[in-house]
Every structure is written in structure tokens, then in C-alpha cells.
Amino acid sequence: MKSLRALALLLCLLVPLIAVETRVWEQSEQADFEKGILTKLSLSSDGRLSPAPVLREIHDAGSTFLWAVARDSKGNIYAGGGSVGGSKSKFIQVDPNGQVKALADLDGMAIQAIAIDRQDRVYAATSPDGKVYRVDATGTAQVFYDPKTKYIWSLVFSSNGDLFVGTGEEGEIHRVTANGNGTVFYRTEEAHVRSLVMDSNRNLIAGTDPSGLILRISSAGQGFVLYEAPKREVTALAIAPDGNIYASAAGNKAPATAPAAPAPIGRGGIVVQAAVSGRGGAAPPAPPVGGVPGGSEIYRIQPDGYARRVWNHAQDVVYSLAIDPNGKVIFGTGNRGNIYRLDDDQNSTRLLRVAPAQVTGLSVAPSGRVFAVTGNIGEIFSFGPEREPFGFIESDVLDAGAFTYWGRMTTLQKGQGAVTLESRSGNTSRPQKDWSPWAKLDASGRVTSPAARFLQYRATVTGTAELFDVTTAYEMKNAAPVVEAIEVTPANYRFPGPAGPPPTNPVTLSLPSLGSRPSGRGLPDSSSTPQLTWAKGVIGARWAAGDENGDALLYKIEIRGEGETAWKLLRENIRERYYSWDSTSFADGKYYLRITASDAPSNPPDQALTSAREGDRFLIDNSAPEITGLAGTPSGTKIDVRFHAKDAWTVLDKAEYSVNGGEWKVVEPTTRLTDSEEHDYHFQVDRGAQPTETTIAVRVKDGNANEAVAKVLVK
């Protein structure tokens, strides 16, 4: 399988002159196909699509729920259900010709269980505060047994004709003889006996709530727990011809310190509540939205007692189990109306999805035809054993990220039949009338839909074919890279080189403007700055740039002086988004930088694109300020010092003086504020009681750390 997929991928890449950044959209997993819309297709857990069993709608019961279904030896189907808050339960018969009739209306809100004896007599149990009725072919219903309990959840006949009744809220199992006399057969110490089946050795298998127990109870009434499920409620049981017991369970168990567990989920997702008072019965609330917390699981218990989990799902809740003529487990779920087949311990197949939310009951005919009843809304369906002649999937939508050219679309498949592919494309995220129409592939398997940003495929699977991989090659139209911003560093700081030892005195400077600029779609975040180190005379720049196609980029940096027309190359083939250079090789003055980005590393030479951006004007200033007029005039015990400082390009930063080589002291300009390229300075120093020769030095720095020093000798 893996080698076939690798071959398919290689074939997709063999298209004429496709750029080196050709990409592949592959769908080969269950999760991939589940994103699409499946029509008349089954989907296996290992990602195989095949035509689904033929689904037939037999009857809409006009009730909220149908909870139970059973089949007699003549092929008649019986279904029962009810509506929330109702006082009557619908009991429906479907004959072998598909004719439907309402056989009876039974007292009680819901029919929860149906059983048929060896004489094809039909029994239906109602809840809450219900009874077991025997219903004849004319629709006459008589009370067969009253267990005098709140709920009747399950019915099953033994080989000798005894009827076993699973009840709640006391968790009892009653045994009823053919004449309608019944007694408590087994007390489970659980609140509810939710499901019952009989094995070939006349052992009763029971599933409970709230401890999730699966019990084996002998004909003598001796019980033994086969398995305690991690879930709280065993919703259904089935026994395969090989003796394996299958059990489904749902719902998270309450913590050990919590109050008693809630009432069981009930068929169709209803959480059934006890009556407020008396035996009138309280209406159960509506089904829980979003499923039962914790999802559900299926367990297999082998004849020797070994149990293991063979299926689980975080959302789908199993309400019904059945065994098909091939010994496979079929199960119905809510709250998405899915019907599955368990293929083995690792794999399952979603056979169908029906519109009603819950598949609450299943019954299998010897022919392999399966009858299903549902909740929300109550309907009767059948499906199989024949399969649809074809089915199709409309995939989810590929967002290629930009205007894109489509290449070959290939499939992997097996079985007899065919898979045909179509595609459509558009520039809105959801297919609508403004997309292109569905179009077949060309003779070489290439997509013929117009180039656009979004693509969808439709695969039609016919016969017994199985589709398990759809692969599409595509290539975004090459868009020119974008240089979004350029920023020059403060003077005298260096970015790290492409390689080498880390800086010994790193400095992190804030250059906020790059980070504050909005980024275009697909462009990387370029706001971070490498650490800078002090380096006199060095200046640098960084830039924000990226490529809509995600291509690798190379950069060229050029410089020109103000008033010049020609750009001079500083460096090219730069991979980093920053660069430093020695500014002392340039005359002082105002300059501009131009950054050119190229996507050549990711594209053939004839398809590579470039774009450039010119930065704001910046200053190179490596000249020291000029000190003039420095003079010291004795005045008694003081020396009156005056001087003038001027810089050609930069605002003066600081002025200091030193007497006879002593400590440098700051001196303010005569205007007090240092805010100009030119200032006068005036200060006095002590001459002392015995005047001697005094040396006064002054030092002036500009904003670029250029420094000038001068001195005067006063005698």
C-alpha cells in the first residue's frame, strides 16, 4: 500500500515544467473523507470508500421515537415507540410485502422492548410504570404480565418458552411462564437491567446501569460478572454464532463520592426520569444535545470469559447491536444516525448515515436484510444485502492559499468497478454558483477546472470498487516577493555575521517600526531583531520581507547618496534579513537604501521574480564636531572659559571639561538645552589662591558618538 501511494505521488509530480515547489493534496484516511459529503457510500476506518448497502425508507411512524424492533419467522417486522409526554405507545407491523399497519396503541408513553416466542406470538413492554402486553394478529392487546416496577427495558425468551423481563428502578430480572405467571428471577443490585440476551447454554446475559456490568446468570439463577465496563450503561447485547458476546456501553461513570448514578440513557438517547409521584409516569426530557458525555464502546467477551474493547468513539453512542448472516456485528448509533459494521478488532465500516439522529433498534433477516428503527424522528428503514450500483463523495475544499494551477489527479483503488473523478474550482471558500461547473479530467488525468484558489473533487465509485486514495498535484502561481519595510540601525552598531562566535557584548535594541507594520498574507513575522554589538563606524539595516508562495528568498542591498542617481551595490545573495557595513568608507551625508528580494532559490530561472523597496533617508556621519574660540581668561581666583562647538550633520550630544587632567565634568550650553548642531559654552573654574599654570581641556560629542577635544593653557 505504501509503495503504491509513493508511486502515485511520483506520477503526480511528472507534469511538464512544473515549478520545483509543486505541492500535493492527498486524501487517504478516514478523517480526510469524513470531511466531505458521502452519498450512497460506505467508509471504513482504514479509509476505503465503496458503494453502500441499498437503503429503503419503509415507514414514518409520525412519533418522536421508535425504540424497539423484532422479526417473526414469517418475515413480519414489529416496531414500537412513542412520543415525549404522550400517553399512548405506537405498535406497528410491516408484512413481508412491505405493507405497514398500525397494529395497536398501548397504554404508556413508550414501547421499550419487543419479543417474539416460538409460536410467533408478539410481546411488547411499555414504560414508565408499564406492563408486558401480548398483541395478536388483529391488533388485540392484552396485559400478559405486570412486574409492578417503574421501567421495563428488555425482553428475551429462553428455549423452553420462559420470558425474561429486565426492569428498573430495582434492577430486577423477572421470569414469566407461558401462562403469564411471573416472579423475580434475579436481583442484580443495580438500578436498571438495560439489555438481555440468551446464550446457547440457556444462560441469561444481562447488561446493567449504573455500574456497566455484563452478567451471566445460569438457569438456576446463579450470577457471575463477566466484565465491568468502563462506561456506566450497557445499552445493547448480541451473541455471535461462535459464542462471542458483544456488548455496547455508554456514558461516563459517576465519581465514587458522588450521589447515586442518574437514570439510564434509554433508547434513542432519552434520559428517562422517575415519576414525580404515583404510577402515572413522568415524561422523559428531550435527547441530550451533542451526545452522551464520554461517547461509547463495544466489548467482545470470548467463550472463555476473556474481554477486550474492540470499538470506541468519542461522539457516536451505540444504542443497538445485531449479528448479520456472516457473523459480523452491525450496530446503530446516535446522535448522527450512523450505522456501522465491525470488520475485525481494529477496523469498522460506517455503512450508512440516516437522517434521524438515533438508530435505536436493529433486526437482521436470514437474507441479510437489516431492519432499523430510529429516534428523532421515528422511522423504519431497511438496508442491504444488495449494494448501490454507485455512490459518490464531494470532498472538502482545498485552500491552496493563493491563485493556483492544478495538475494531475490520481486515485488508488481495488476491486471490480470503476472510479471516475471530476473537479470544480473557485475563489470563494465555499462552493457556490460562482464556482466553475463540475468538469471531468482530461485524457492524461489533469484537472481541467480553471486556475483559482480553491478546489473540490467529486469521486464516483461503481460496482465493487474500493477507493482509498485521491491525490492532486497543484502549484500556486508564482507571486513576486514583498519587501514590506526597511529600517536602519543606530550608528556604531553591528548585526552578527552569517556565522562565527557569539558576540561578547551583545546589545538588544528596540526597532519598533518593523513590528508595527501590517504583514501581508503569507509573509513571515520579521519584527524580531538579532542582538547588536558596538562597533564604531559600522551601520546596519534590517527589513521585513516574505513571499506569498512560501519561497526561499535572497536579498540584494544597494546604497545611493542624496542627489545621486546610480545605486551602488553593498552586498547581494544575502539570506538573512539584516546586514551591517563599514560606513567610514562613505562620505558624510544623507543616503538611501534599496532592498531587492528574489525568489530564485525556489523557482526555475525563467520563472523567478523580484521586487524592491527603497527605504527612508538616513544619515552617515563619522566626522567629529568642530571646537572654535576656546579661551580661558583669569578673573581673580577664577578662570572664565568660553568656546563654540559646531557639527555639520548631527545634533550635539554632550560637552565636558577637565582641569589639569582631572575628572571630566559636564558643561551645559549657554541656552541650557542641548538641542542644536551648534552651541556656545561658558563656565568658570577655580584658579586657586596661588595662581599657577592651568590646563583646561574640553570635549564635545555629537549624536553619532563622534568626539572632538581641544585645550587651552592659562598662566
d(CA 659, CA 711): 10
Confidence grade of residue 376 (pLDDT, cut at 50, 70, 90) = confident
Sheet with 707-714, side-by-side order of all strands: 665-666, 652-659, 694-702, 707-714
pLDDT value at residue 519:
36
**Long-range contacts of 635-640, Cβ-Cβ distance < 8 Å, separation of 24 or more:** 635/684, 636/687, 637/686, 637/687, 637/688, 637/689, 638/684, 638/685, 638/686, 638/687, 639/684, 639/685, 639/686, 639/687, 639/694, 639/696, 639/714, 640/682, 640/684
Please say if the pLDDT value at position 268 is more than 60.
no
Confidence (pLDDT) at 254: 77
Selected residue with higher pLDDT from 263 and 252? 252
What number is the average pLDDT over the span 293-311?
94
What's the mean pLDDT in 692-712? 94
pLDDT of residue 643 exceeding 90, the answer is yes
Contacts of 31 (CB under 8 A, 6+ apart): none
Asked whether residue 399 carries a pLDDT value surpassing 90, the answer given is yes
Alpha helices, H only, 487-552 = 512-516
Residue 4 has pLDDT above 50, yes or no: no
**2-52+391-476 is classed in which CATH architecture?**
Sandwich (2.60)
Confidence class of residue 689 from pLDDT cuts 50, 70 and 90?
Answer: low
Could you report the per-residue pLDDT of 451-475, keeping only the tens digit for each?
A: 999 999 999 999 999 999 999 999 9
Q: Is the pLDDT score of 11 beyond 80?
A: no
Structure-block grid coordinates of residue 467: 477507493
Q: Which of 450, 459, 406 has the alpha carbon at shortest distance from 426?
A: 450
Instruction: Output the pLDDT for position 104.
Output: 93
Confidence check: pLDDT of 3 > 60: no
Place of cell 494551477: 405
* 53-387 CATH: 2.130.10.10
How far apart (Å, rounded) are the C-alpha atoms in residues 583 and 570?
11
Which of 53-67, 281-295, 308-322, 405-419 is predicted with the least confidence, judged by mean pLDDT? Answer: 281-295
| Mean pLDDT score, 537-563 | 93
509/97 Cα distance (integer angstroms): 85
Q: Give start and end residues of each alpha helix (H) in 439-591.
A: 512-516
Task: Identify which of 204, 238, 207 has the alpha carbon closest to the alpha carbon of residue 221.
Answer: 204
* The domain defined by 626-714 carries CATH number 1.10.357.10: no
Cβ pair 647, 702 in contact under 8 A: yes
Q: What is the pLDDT confidence band of residue 405, given thresholds at 50, 70 and 90? A: very high
pLDDT band of 690, cuts 50, 70, 90: low
Which of the four pLDDT bands, split at 50, 70 and 90, describes residue 522?
very low
Mean pLDDT value across residues 342-351: 96
| 164/176 Cα distance (integer angstroms) | 6
Domain positions in the chain: 2-52+391-476, 53-387, 482-620, 626-714
Share of the chain above pLDDT 90, in %: 76
Q: Which residues contact 251 (CB under 8 A, 6 or more apart)?
A: 231, 232, 233, 265, 292, 293, 294, 296
- Mean pLDDT value across residues 562-580: 95
pLDDT of residue 191: 96
pLDDT band at residue 24 under the 50/70/90 scheme: very high
Residue 559: pLDDT above 90? yes
Residue range 312-336: mean pLDDT, rounded = 95
Weakest mean pLDDT among 247-261, 353-367, 397-411: 247-261
Q: How far apart are CA 12 and CA 606, in angstroms?
A: 23
Q: By the 8 A CB rule, do 322 and 364 touch? A: yes
Rounded Cα distance, 258 and 269, in Å:
23
* CA distance from start to end of the chain: 100
* pTM for this prediction: 0.74
pLDDT for the residue 125: 96
Please report which confidence band the pLDDT of residue 271 belongs to, taking 50, 70 and 90 as the band edges: very low
Do the two domains 53-387 and 482-620 of this chain adopt the same fold? no
Per-residue pLDDT for 385 more than 90?
yes
Q: Which residue would you say has higher pLDDT here, 83 or 431?
A: 431
Q: How far apart are CA 705 and CA 654, in angstroms?
A: 10
pLDDT(570) > 70: yes
Helix (H) or strand (E) holding 6: helix 2-13
Whole-number Å distance between alpha carbons of 253 and 274: 19
C-alpha span between 127 and 131 (Å, rounded)? 7
In this predicted model, what pLDDT tens digit does every residue of 201-253 receive, in sequence order?
999 999 999 999 999 999 999 999 999 999 999 999 999 999 999 999 999 98
496, with CB counted inside 10 A (0-12, 13-18, 19+), is middle
Question: Band of the pLDDT at 18, cuts 50, 70, 90?
Answer: very low
Res. 273: pLDDT tops 80: no
Q: For residues 668-690, give the mean pLDDT.
A: 90
pLDDT at residue 276, rounded to an integer: 26
What's the whole-number mean pLDDT along residues 521-540?
68
Instruction: Indicate whether 51 pLDDT > 60.
Output: yes
pLDDT at 523 over 80: no
User: What CA–CA distances, in Å, run from 437 to 396, 425, 434, 440, 458?
Assistant: 16, 8, 9, 10, 12
CATH number of 482-620: 2.60.40.10
pLDDT tens profile 105-149: 998 889 999 999 999 999 999 988 889 999 998 999 999 999 999
- The grid coordinates listed for 519 are 504583514
Assign 276 to helix, strand or coil: coil
| Whether the Cβ atoms of residue 291 and residue 278 lie closer than 8 Å to each other | no
Assigned C-alpha cell, 300: 467482545
